[in-house]
Chains A and B, each alone.
Chain A
Amino acid sequence: MTLKATAHILFRATDTKKLVRRLPFRSLGPSVRELYVTPEVADALDGTDPNFRALPTVHTERLIAIFDAGQLISASLLGSSKKRPDMERLRDLDEVWAFCVRKPQMWQLRILGRFLDHRIFVGLSAYERRILGGTANYNDLASAVPEKWVQTLGDKPPFRAKSVEEYLGGVCPDVDEE
């Protein structure tokens, strides 16, 4: 996808308020990656959604800030949850990723979405990790992401790549290579 096409898609989505750009609580430097979320996910992150009373948390805002600044975000293309990556492409689903806030351990957050382009992630739904439960329920809820993608961005295909570097850029170790 060309830069111009991506910019046009994002302009349309943000202009119609289907998406909002999620900026860091406090910028850590120039934006290297971009995070867009639905208004519902934004409400959750702001703590205005009663289902997410624990938010905002330092850990969530830290991860968003380092994502934005191109700093260290570990990732897995194989959905290797046991290696605790910051982002993982979920198994058995078509380009559905989880943005994983793993602290505090007793209250973790997952933002599910897809990459629109190199370094551009679109978060379409947010869940407390406890709600996602085991693999079957997790995948069942995550399977709604492609449909939400179409509702939000139309028939534009998600970004597909073969390396973590192509998706994320910046400092992005692949936990499956370690």
Chain B
Amino acid sequence: MSTKNNPQIDEKFVREYDRAAMRSMFASIFAAVVTARKREGGFTFAALANRLGVGKSVVSRWFNRDVNWEVNTIADIAAALDIDVRITAVDRRTGTVYTPAGSLPTGVRTFSHISHIAHISHIPEDAIPTTPRDAPTFRVIVA
């Protein structure tokens, strides 16, 4: 996206974007689980709604709208789906990965491969090794 000198891209825009992205992430995770459970058979929104003590229309709306859940609600949904939600954070500047137990060991970086195009996330150019001998431990995610 070309946002150069676009006056509409201000702090408020960025803040709302980041919030929307976070909401979408949780919705997507839960939707992924729901989709898998439907394929396995026996899952219904009514059953999920029943476990959560809310109406079926509420649950249906969750997966078709942009919903701003409270953290407690996220925890309740995870419990109702019988899943654990695990969170990592990635430093945008350095690529350092953080878990609730702290940062991952130095040298662990993430590469993302997009079909035939290599895409490197958040890695400064001078951090990219030139020879295998120079390479620290890498975790490669193939998209």
Contacts and interface: CB of A to CB of B under 8 A. Distances in A.
Q: Which of B1, B31, B32, B64 has the most CB of A within 10 A?
A: B1
A62 B141 contact: no
Interface on chain A toward B: helix, strand, loop, or mixed SS? Answer: loop
Contacts of A34: 114-115
A56 B17 CA distance: 11
A3 B116 contact: yes
A30 B2 contact: no
A32 B64 contact: no
A66 B60 CA distance: 20
A18 interface: no
Nearest to B6: A47
A58 B32 contact: no
Interface of B: 1-3, 6, 8-9, 13, 16-18, 20-21, 24-25, 27-28, 31-32, 34-35, 45, 60, 63-64, 66, 112-116, 119, 121, 141, 143
Interface of A: 3, 7, 22-32, 34, 42, 45-48, 55-56, 58-59, 61-62, 64-66, 70-72, 74, 83-84, 103, 171, 173, 175, 178
